[in-house]
Structure 1
Amino acid sequence: MPPVIVLALGAVGAAALVKLLAKESRRVNAELDATRRAEEANEPTGRVTLRRDPATGEYRPFDS
């Protein structure tokens, strides 16, 4: 009978450990997502302003 008790305690301990690890992974992922969203908000859009060149009539990138 004692091995059954040890196995039951081991199963309860393993379940608690899995629950703790899942909670921690959700917390870390939420923190990483928040950081990623903040970095994306600070990135430039990548759009270039174009101005028409009066001499050629072509549109060229304009550095502001």
Structure 2
Amino acid sequence: MPPVFVLALGALGAAALVRILARESRRVNAELDAQRRVEEATQGDRRGTLRRDPASGEYRPSDS
């Protein structure tokens, strides 16, 4: 019977660890999403578009 108890305790510990890791993952993702929203709000349309350079064929940021 003792091996059954050890396996049960191991399963309970694993389940608790999964719950803790899932909660931490949601917390970190919420922080990252909030930071991303702040950056997008402050940055606005400052991100330029890419234009193709006819001479080289490479894409480069536009000057505007």
Length-normalised TM-score, structure 1: 0.69
Bigger Rg, structure 1 or 2: 1
Shift of 1:36: 0.3
SS of the aligned residue for 1:11 comes to helix
Give the match for residue 20 of structure 2.
20
Shift of 1:14: 0.2
Unaligned runs of 5+ in 2: 47-63
Length-normalised TM-score, structure 2: 0.69
Q: Identity percentage over the alignment?
A: 72
The size of the alignment, in residue pairs, is 47
Paired amino acid for 2:32: L
Unaligned runs of 5+ in 1: 47-62
SS of the aligned residue for 1:45 comes to coil
User: Which runs of structure 1 show a deviation greater than 4 angstroms over 4 or more consecutive aligned residues?
Assistant: none
Shift of 1:45: 1.6
Q: CA RMSD in A?
A: 1.5
